[in-house]
Amino acid sequence: MTNKELLESDAVKDSAAYQAFMAEFGKELDAIAWTLAKQLQAVRHPVYRQVLGRLYEAGLIPLWSMRGVNLSGVDLSKANLSGAILHWANLSKANLNEASLTGADLYKADLSGADLAEADLNRANLSKANLSGANLQWADLSRADLSRADLTGADLYKANLSGADLSGADLSGADLSKADLSEAVWDEHTKWPRGYERNS
């Protein structure tokens, strides 16, 4: 069965997005010619970016490393970048509202000022990432690695931080109102917002 047949047989609610993606890139998939340039083209597209992670998980496309890529200020809302490799990527002020970054590797990525409201960052590696001033309202950061991350001034209202690793993270000035920190871990180097009360 070809990639196209596999894709068309997959029952997914975003079938229109899949069809649009295949209309644009179907020949490249059949020819195993999926390149980083095409991946970045898809990431920037409002429809194509919604299906990338699912195509990768289904084994239909490789997910090329986007290490160090500059996506500063780019609209990536609702993008499916599950499992993406984004070491040192510049995503400052990017719109990642409702994006899926489950299991993504964002080690030392710059997400300062980014809009990550309602984003899914479950199990993401955000170690040493710069999330200063980021909007993380309602974001799912459960089991995420936020060790030594810069979260100064970040808005974490109602964010899910259950099971997250906050060892050495800097949360100075962050808004943790109604955030879920159940089973989260931290250490003596973790910096908390002034006056924030937490369980020891």
What digits encode the pLDDT tens for the residues 119-145?
999 999 999 999 999 999 999 999 999
Between 117 and 46, the more confident residue is: 117
pLDDT at 32: 56
Q: What's the token pair of residue 132?
A: 């200063």
Between 161 and 25, the more confident residue is: 161
Q: What's the token pair of residue 183?
A: 């089973």
Contacts of 47 (CB under 8 A, 6+ apart): 16, 17, 20, 21
Start and end residues for every CATH 2.160.20.80 domain found in the chain? 66-194
Number of H helices and number of E strands within the chain? Answer: 4, 0
The CATH code that applies to domain 66-194 is 2.160.20.80
pLDDT at 19: 83
Whether 9 has a pLDDT exceeding 60, the answer reads: no
The whole-angstrom separation of Cα 1 and Cα 77 is 32
Find where tokens 């920190």 sit.
Answer: 181
Asked if 149 and 170 touch (Cβ cutoff 8 Å), the reply is yes
pLDDT at 18: 81
pLDDT at 22: 82
Each residue's pLDDT tens digit, 72-130: 999 999 999 999 999 999 999 999 999 999 999 999 999 999 999 999 999 999 999 99
Each residue's pLDDT tens digit, 148-197: 999 999 999 999 999 999 999 999 999 999 999 999 999 999 999 998 87
- Using a cut of 0.75, tell me whether the model's pTM lies above it: yes
